[in-house]
């Protein structure tokens, strides 16, 4: 399980918000990869996740990205604990 802290004003960088004009929420990138990359090698998924995290301006750790890539590759659920700050 990963963990990330996001400010309330930037929660739309992580989760899709139809009221927001922000166009690259990480949730969308992760979901797209999960839908299309099951069974792919972890080493090929990590750079794609890193690109999605960078586009969303999120500071996910390398370890979190590897765990997420392992979940995508195997089709297992992944839990990300999100702490929202004022």
Number of domains in the chain: 1
User: How confident is the model at residue 46, as a pLDDT?
Assistant: 98
CB-CB contact of 83 with 8 (8 Å):
no
Burial of residue 69 (CB within 10 Å: 0-12, 13-18, 19+) is buried
Residue 33's pLDDT band (cuts 50, 70, 90): very high
Least confident of 22-26, 41-45, 59-63: 22-26
Domain with 62 in it: 2-85
Q: What is the pTM assigned to this prediction?
A: 0.90
* C-alpha–C-alpha distance, residues 37 and 75, integer Å: 9
Q: Which long-range contacts (CB under 8 A, 24 or more apart) does 14-21 make?
A: 14/56, 14/58, 14/82
User: How confident is the model at residue 75, as a pLDDT?
Assistant: 96
């Amino acid at each position: 399980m990963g963990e990330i802290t996001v400010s309330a004003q930037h929660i739309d960088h992580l989760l899709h918000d139809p009221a927001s004009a922000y166009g690259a929420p990480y949730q969308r990138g992760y979901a797209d990869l999960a839908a299309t990359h099951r069974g792919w090698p972890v080493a090929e998924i990590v750079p794609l996740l890193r690109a999605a995290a960078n586009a969303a301006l999120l500071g996910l750790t390398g370890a979190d990205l590897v765990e997420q890539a392992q979940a995508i590759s195997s089709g297992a659920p992944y839990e990300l604990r999100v702490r929202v700050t004022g």
